[in-house]
Structure 1
Amino acid sequence: MSHRTAITIWFCCGIAPFLSWSSSVSSTPARWLVTLAWLAGWVCLWQATRDPTRQQLLGCFASTHIARLAAALWLLIGLAGLFWIGGSSGLFFALMPPLGLLALWASSSDGIQLRKRTAGALCTIAALAFSIVGLEMTLRWIHARRPANDYRTITWGHPVTTNRFGFREREFKVPKPSGTYRVMVLGDSFTWGSGLSLEERYTERIQRHLRERFPERNIEVLNFGQPSTPTTEHARNLTQFVDRVTPDRIVVGFCVNDPQPRAQNYAVELDNYRWLFLGIETLGRCRLVATRQFLKTRCDQLLRNIGVIPQWWIALDRVYQPDSTEWQAFCAALKSIKAHNARRGLPPPLFAALWYGRGNFNQPDTRLRLIAKWCRQATRAAQTAGFEIVDMEPAFLRQGDRNRWVNAWDGHPSAECNRIYAEHLSRPLAAALRNTASD
């Protein structure tokens, strides 16, 4: 390894802190220390190349194994700094071509060797680029054959519209018209209706059923479902909107990941591979969106299948430990909802665990067994907090072996599941309406 190689490697590493500075605005002692270390290394290198004698000494040192190891470590630390200190940056990709040429120059002994290596590198890069573009086009073609879905404007072919409050619900009058019986339903994507039309959601089914039974009443069942949110967020939504909604009854639709404030598949072990997923995320900046999602999913599956990261149902079960902070926050959110309900003098809020999944709950696999366990545990917690429980377990036990997914690509509850939810929730609401009518 010549002194040119040492200079090149040191230069490549020396720009790392500046890239981190450009991609992050926060300032921490760790970033200052790393930046100062790089600057000190650059100054020392500059001093060592100021005259031929020093260059010769640097070349002798660069030819040793220790120098190669030191240079490799500095290069790795520099690349790690891009991702761990400042995050990936578009500037990094912009600098890749000139840095690549600089590396080829440093490792070539003459112009002929430089041209050969440059041609080989260009061929390799071109082949890799064509492969990636081909993969991206193939994945986009496959996705184009499925119903459109982005969970914001469309959900598996069903358009999504929101009201002025940002919920997937029609506009409603504020203040509530006199004589209106209004139900406020809180929940996550199960309540929001992933993969379902508005008419297929259990909230619309409840409203239709109640209006048919009580045609003389003005009944509104309002959906305040919000995808990817925990029960703690549902309690905050209630606090924010309850005065404008002025409900006569509050309903909580529970999904098994509601105690988890992070993603359903989150596991603490994922933090050890953050560098991998950050690297994959950079593909999105190159408009390789389908490839990014494909690699994220496959890498996640691989890490779980080889056992370095637990499967999502094993990781989620940790949240249900009574002493976990997530479970305690979930129980506190239930108490908060009940307290709001009591302050308004309303009947006890309804709590419904929304069962789902593929298989037979009478002969459950590991996932179904845990889903049943979580639903029962959450139901007991809600009952302790003072909720009125709507128990759907017997209905799902009677189903036997069943695919309850909304479609082949999405595990959210099907329209049939929503029919069962509506059937069970309609009963206590209808009873309350009969009582108010008799009063």
Structure 2
Amino acid sequence: MNPYNSPDYTFPLFNQKQKSGNSNSIFQLINPHNVKKLPVAKRTLFYLINLIIIIVVSFFLGEIICRFHAFGWEAFKFKKTNSFVSIGYSGYLQPAEDQHVWYELKPDIDGLFKMHIIRTNSRGLRDQEYSFKKPPNTYRVAVIGDSFTFGDGVNAEDTYHAILEKKLNGLSDSTKVEFINFGIAGYDLLNYLGVMEAKAMAYDPDLILVGFCGNNDDDLPEARQYNEPFTGYRYVEWSWAVQRFQIFRTVANYMTIRRRKRNELANDEQSERKKQFVRDMFGEFRRVKTEHDIPLMVFYLSMADAAPEKAKLVAGLCKENGFPFIDSSPVVDGLDDISEYWFHDSDHHPNEKMHRIYADILLKSFVEVQLPEKKIAQLGYIKLPGFK
């Protein structure tokens, strides 16, 4: 005789008699009245299991909602959408030998970053291979900057300097122009200084072009950047979660926005410290310019959400230190809907359209070509030193 069909059989967990043919037995098992009769240990286990189920189901429902909100019908193209992370959580960084450079891209990367292709050369630059020795009849520009210059959210060929390189090469028969991309997301002015001295000068550039990001290039570096090896971004131990789950990326974006708002509301003392930091770094840039006898130019990259006084501060420092200054904000501030130029609604890095505008502004300043249907005479005319 099968003991499970016996009317005297007692269910071991719930101490509930099972009656043969009772179609409502499952409801009896979860009946609150019956649960209360369980021993404390079993009742606690029952509640714990239910709590875990609720948390797991809620998490995955939240993940689905966040994915659809961020990516629409591409939500479940996991390889593509999971690349939508900050560079510090991408796994593409390694410590740099120079303390001021601090970190750099790993060499020979071939993958995805923010849903776009990322490839690096054998020296860890997001660019093609270049020899240290400059070829004859070549005008070489070292482009130094952060995520705007690196190209967050666009392919390498769609960055402003790559577009400009192509346009300038179409205008000159005698000189080849090379723009070498030294930009990396997350860099600040201290990193720029390190890259100039430890990397860019090895390529014998004719010009250093600094892409000054109006949003955050006045941020103070982390204290550990001065004397500790790079071990990863803060909270990098959560990289595995950020790389795989949109719900964690949403939280990370929210925290970033909150941090930026706190920076905007920084007290006067911190604001003065930031200004002094920028002054000090521009003084160091002038030292590099003088020691290496090389022109240095500053391009102010605006996305219409930076404080307008930053552009004035940078313009004044450029004049003080003898750097040509190109300001994109007069054009960018005149755009009707800046959101059309974001890479993504939750990531306000410039998209391909904005990079083309940046390239046209630089082209106008370099070779006196007007932007189509736009008059930007206030930018002035700056000729590339040595370019014919």
**Range class of TM-score, shorter chain:** 0.5 to 0.7
| Paired residue total | 291
1:390 to 313, 316, 326: 326
Give the Cα–Cα distance (whole angstroms) in 1 for the partners of residues 365 and 251 of structure 2: 47
Match of 2:353 in 1: 416
1:335 aligns with 2:283: yes
Residues 321 and 244 of structure 1: is their aligned pair in 2 closer, same or farther, counting only changes over 3 Å? same
1:351 aligns with 2:310: no
Q: Retained in 1: the 8 A contact 2:212–2:298?
A: yes
Q: Retained in 2: the 8 A contact 1:259–1:330?
A: yes
Residues 244 and 319 of structure 1: is their aligned pair in 2 closer, same or farther, counting only changes over 3 Å? farther
Q: Retained in 2: the 8 A contact 1:319–1:326?
A: no
Q: Retained in 2: the 8 A contact 1:232–1:330?
A: no
Give the Cα–Cα distance (whole angstroms) in 2 for the partners of residues 286 and 204 of structure 1: 30
SS at match of 1:214: coil
Residues 284 and 434 of structure 1: is their aligned pair in 2 closer, same or farther, counting only changes over 3 Å? closer
1:372 aligns with 2:308: yes
2:189 to 231, 244, 247: 231
1:182 aligns with 2:119: no
Give the C-alpha shift of residue 354 in structure 1: 0.7
Q: Retained in 2: the 8 A contact 1:202–1:421?
A: yes
Match of 1:132 in 2: 55
- How far does the alpha carbon of each residue in 1:371-398 deviate from its partner, in whole angstroms, 9 at most, with x for none? 3232332332333232111122321233
SS at match of 2:334: helix
Match of 2:216 in 1: 257
Structure number having the greater helix percentage:
1
Give the Cα–Cα distance (whole angstroms) in 2 for the partners of residues 283 and 232 of structure 1: 25
Residues 115 and 171 of structure 1: is their aligned pair in 2 closer, same or farther, counting only changes over 3 Å? farther
Give the C-alpha shift of residue 208 in structure 1: 0.7
Residue 188 of structure 2 aligns to which amino acid in structure 1? P
Give the C-alpha shift of residue 156 in structure 1: 3.0
Residues 376 and 145 of structure 1: is their aligned pair in 2 closer, same or farther, counting only changes over 3 Å? farther
Q: Retained in 2: the 8 A contact 1:320–1:374?
A: no
- How far does the alpha carbon of each residue in 1:32-63 deviate from its partner, in whole angstroms, 9 at most, with x for none? xxxxxxxxxxxxxxxxxxxxxxxxxxxxxxxx
Match of 2:344 in 1: 407
- How far does the alpha carbon of each residue in 1:9-40 deviate from its partner, in whole angstroms, 9 at most, with x for none? xxxxxxxxxxxxxxxxxxxxxxxxxxxxxxxx
Match of 1:118 in 2: 41
The percent of aligned pairs where both chains have the same amino acid is: 21
Higher relative contact order (CA 8 A, sep 6+): 2
Alignment of 1:185-200 (within 5 A): 185-200=143-158
Q: Retained in 2: the 8 A contact 1:230–1:260?
A: yes
Give the Cα–Cα distance (whole angstroms) in 2 for the partners of residues 381 and 342 of structure 1: 16
Residues 380 and 191 of structure 1: is their aligned pair in 2 closer, same or farther, counting only changes over 3 Å? same
Give the Cα–Cα distance (whole angstroms) in 2 for the partners of residues 260 and 413 of structure 1: 19
Residue 411 of structure 1 aligns to which amino acid in structure 2? H
Alignment of 1:151-300 (within 5 A): 151=87, 152=90, 153-255=111-213, 256-261=215-220, 289-295=245-251, 300=255
Residues 240 and 286 of structure 1: is their aligned pair in 2 closer, same or farther, counting only changes over 3 Å? closer
Q: Retained in 1: the 8 A contact 2:165–2:179?
A: yes
Give the Cα–Cα distance (whole angstroms) in 2 for the partners of residues 114 and 236 of structure 1: 70
Match of 1:61 in 2: none
Residues 215 and 319 of structure 1: is their aligned pair in 2 closer, same or farther, counting only changes over 3 Å? farther
Give the Cα–Cα distance (whole angstroms) in 1 for the partners of residues 39 and 169 of structure 2: 79
SS at match of 1:131: helix
Residues 231 and 204 of structure 1: is their aligned pair in 2 closer, same or farther, counting only changes over 3 Å? same
Give the Cα–Cα distance (whole angstroms) in 2 for the partners of residues 127 and 402 of structure 1: 47
Q: Which runs of 5+ in 1 are unaligned?
A: 1-112, 264-276, 305-309, 358-367
Give the Cα–Cα distance (whole angstroms) in 2 for the partners of residues 136 and 283 of structure 1: 18
Q: Which moved more, 1:310-319 or 1:239-248?
A: 310-319
Give the Cα–Cα distance (whole angstroms) in 2 for the partners of residues 380 and 124 of structure 1: 65
Give the C-alpha shift of residue 173 in structure 1: 1.1
Give TM-score, length-normalised by structure 1.
0.58
- How far does the alpha carbon of each residue in 1:211-248 deviate from its partner, in whole angstroms, 9 at most, with x for none? 00013322101111111121111111111113311110
SS at match of 1:254: strand
Q: Retained in 2: the 8 A contact 1:182–1:220?
A: yes
Q: Which moved more, 1:423-432 or 1:182-191?
A: 423-432
Give the Cα–Cα distance (whole angstroms) in 2 for the partners of residues 154 and 165 of structure 1: 18
RMSD: 3.5
Residues 172 and 372 of structure 1: is their aligned pair in 2 closer, same or farther, counting only changes over 3 Å? same
Give the C-alpha shift of residue 312 in structure 1: 2.2
SS at match of 2:266: helix
Give the Cα–Cα distance (whole angstroms) in 1 for the partners of residues 343 and 250 of structure 2: 21
Give TM-score, length-normalised by structure 2.
0.65
Residue 258 of structure 1 aligns to which amino acid in structure 2? D
Q: Retained in 2: the 8 A contact 1:207–1:220?
A: yes
Give the C-alpha shift of residue 433 in structure 1: 5.2
Residues 436 and 287 of structure 1: is their aligned pair in 2 closer, same or farther, counting only changes over 3 Å? closer
Give the Cα–Cα distance (whole angstroms) in 2 for the partners of residues 286 and 419 of structure 1: 31
Q: Which has the larger radius of gyration?
A: 1
